[in-house]
């Protein structure tokens, strides 16, 4: 059963990478004609930095979406995590590990709360995570007016700006997280259960899967990933920022990246590798438009069109497959 449901995943992954390659090739040409250079050191580095931030969130989001749920609170979890990390560190290297641990623990706590609301109280995930997001927003708005705390220099130098050749350490960390998530999804019992719950909760339950536990775990992992994104952003910004998550539109963008990566919004189909493709695609479009100095608002219009078009292509393909 689970083998059958997993098969389309592997066939589907290339789609987004084809689109990514095409986008990069066309972008490279257009930028070249425009008199620029897309693949020089600085653009590549900034592209990968953008991808890393969104990537952590999107990988986590993939897990909940696969399970048929959704997390709209990630943007606030990110902001909260930057603040917890930066305020605990308060500029000293000694508090680095406890601070990161605390930030992740707080995030995991929010995830646990989300998961319990969705499973125990049976609140629709959309409303539950939106409500939790509002709770966090109120806390952030009433306690912080601007940046607070200071990230330890050690973290800034390592996670924030350290890189291997043109590849930032943070992107390597993203690859590691993605690898771990891929392993969990395709090689462990939890992963198979999660996909089964997302595919058909009733069937999963009748087959002996404990749906509630699986979904709660997925929500905790998702918030952990958002917390990690927060720690990363704190290392980039040098302090905690109470609005970084919402201003970056991390909630909606992460969902868009997941869906562009070929994961079905209804759950049960997809994977993290496609999601990273989706994240890279969004980041590349950003980088290309930056190089062409396209108006930021026009960029947003194009982004909207691309998100809809990408999903329409998947829907067509799924339809054709169903017909044949």
Partner 1 sequence: MQIVQRRPLPLRRVRLRPGGVLPILAILAVLLVLVGIRQPSFLDPPSLMSFLGRSAPVILLAAGQYFVIVSGEFDLSVGSLVTAQVVVAARLIDSDPARTWPVVLLLLAFGALVGLVNGLITTRLRVPSFITTLGMFLILVGAVYLWSDGAPKGGLSEEFRRFGRRAIEDVPLLGRVPYALLVLVVVAVLAVALMRSDFGRTLVAVGDNPRTAQLSGVRVWRTRTVAFILSGLAAAVAAILLGGYSGVSFQAGAGLEFGAITAVVLGGVALGGGRGSVVGAMLGALTLELLFALMNFYGVSGALRSTVQGAIILLAVAVSATRSSSR
Give the DSSP per-residue string, 76-102. HHHHHHHHHHHHHHTT-GGGHHHHHHH
Among 22, 105, 135, 176, binds partner 1 (CB under 8 A): 135
Closer Cβ to partner 1, 114 or 151, answer by number: 114
Closer Cβ to partner 1, 237 or 306, answer by number: 306
Cα–Cα dist 146/264, whole Å:
37
Stretch of 7-15, 43-51, 277-285, 292-300 lying at the interface with partner 1 (CB under 8 A): 292-300
DSSP H or E stretch at residue 200: none
Distances (CA, A) of 30 to 38, 64, 243: 9, 37, 34
Size of the site for partner 1 (CB under 8 A): 44
Q: Which of 225, 256, 237 is nearest to 161 (CA)?
A: 237
Stretch of 126-134, 147-155, 170-178, 219-227 lying at the interface with partner 1 (CB under 8 A): 126-134
Asked if 213 and 112 count as a contact pair (C-beta separation under 8 A), the reply is no
Q: How many CB atoms lie within 10 A of CB 216?
A: 23
Q: Considering the rule CB under 8 A, would residue 128 count as an interface residue with partner 1?
A: yes
Stretch of 21-29, 128-136, 188-196, 213-221 lying at the interface with partner 1 (CB under 8 A): 128-136
Stretch of 54-62, 97-105, 268-276, 296-304 lying at the interface with partner 1 (CB under 8 A): 296-304
Asked if 255 and 126 count as a contact pair (C-beta separation under 8 A), the reply is no
- Residue that is written with structure tokens 């580095």 in the block: 45
Stretch of 3-11, 161-169, 173-181, 300-308 lying at the interface with partner 1 (CB under 8 A): 300-308
State the maximum Cα–Cα separation within the chain, in Å, rounded to a whole number: 62
Stretch of 181-189, 232-240, 273-281, 310-318 lying at the interface with partner 1 (CB under 8 A): 310-318
40: three-class secondary structure by DSSP: coil
Q: Considering the rule CB under 8 A, would residue 304 count as an interface residue with partner 1?
A: yes
Closer Cβ to partner 1, 3 or 297, answer by number: 297
Nearest distance from C-beta of residue 178 to partner 1, angstroms:
22
Non-local CB neighbours of 10 within 8 Å, separated by 6+ positions: none
Q: Considering the rule CB under 8 A, would residue 323 count as an interface residue with partner 1?
A: no
148: three-class secondary structure by DSSP: strand
Residue 148 backbone phi and psi in degrees, to 5: -140, 155
Among 30, 45, 123, 150, binds partner 1 (CB under 8 A): 123
Which residues on adjacent β-strands are paired with residue 240? 148
Report how many helices (DSSP H) and strands (DSSP E) the chain contains, helices first: 15, 2
Q: Considering the rule CB under 8 A, would residue 298 count as an interface residue with partner 1?
A: yes
Q: Considering the rule CB under 8 A, would residue 269 count as an interface residue with partner 1?
A: no
Among 22, 40, 308, 321, binds partner 1 (CB under 8 A): 308
Closer Cβ to partner 1, 123 or 173, answer by number: 123
Chain residues binding partner 1 by CB under 8 A are 117, 121-124, 126-128, 130-135, 137-139, 141-142, 202, 252, 255-256, 259, 265-266, 295, 297-305, 307-308, 311-312, 315-316, 318-319
């Amino acid at each position: 059963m689970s083998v059958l449901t997993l098969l389309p995943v592997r066939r589907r992954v290339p789609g987004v990478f084809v689109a990514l390659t095409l986008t990069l090739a066309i972008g490279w040409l257009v930028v070249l004609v425009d008199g620029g250079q897309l693949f020089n050191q600085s653009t590549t580095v900034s592209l990968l930095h953008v991808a890393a931030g969104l990537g952590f969130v999107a990988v986590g989001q993939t897990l909940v979406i696969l399970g048929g749920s959704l997390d709209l609170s990630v943007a606030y979890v990110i902001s909260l995590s930057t603040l917890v990390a930066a305020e605990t560190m308060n500029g000293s290297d000694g508090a680095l590990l406890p601070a990161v641990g605390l930030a992740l623990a707080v995030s995991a706590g929010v995830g646990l709360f989300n998961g319990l609301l969705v499973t125990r109280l049976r609140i629709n995930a959309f409303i539950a995570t939106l409500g939790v997001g509002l709770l966090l927003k109120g806390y952030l708005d009433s306690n912080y007016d601007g940046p607070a705390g200071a990230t330890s220099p050690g973290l800034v130098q390592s996670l924030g700006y350290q890189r291997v050749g043109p590849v930032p350490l943070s992107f390597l960390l993203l690859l590691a997280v993605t690898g771990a998530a891929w392993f969990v999804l395709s090689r462990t019992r939890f992963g198979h259960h999660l996909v089964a719950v997302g595919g058909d909760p009733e069937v999963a339950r009748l087959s002996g899967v404990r749906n509630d536990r699986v979904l709660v775990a997925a929500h905790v992992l998702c918030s952990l990933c958002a917390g990690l994104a927060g720690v990363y952003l704190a290392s980039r910004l040098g302090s905690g920022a109470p609005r970084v998550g919402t201003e970056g539109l991390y909630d909606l963008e992460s969902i868009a990246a997941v869906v562009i990566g070929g994961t079905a919004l209804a759950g049960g189909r997809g994977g993290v590798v496609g999601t990273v493709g989706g994240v890279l695609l969004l980041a590349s479009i950003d980088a290309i438009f930056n190089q062409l100095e396209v108006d930021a608002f026009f960029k947003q219009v194009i982004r909207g069109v691309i998100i809809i078009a990408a999903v329409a292509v998947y829907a067509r393909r799924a339809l054709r497959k169903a017909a044949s």
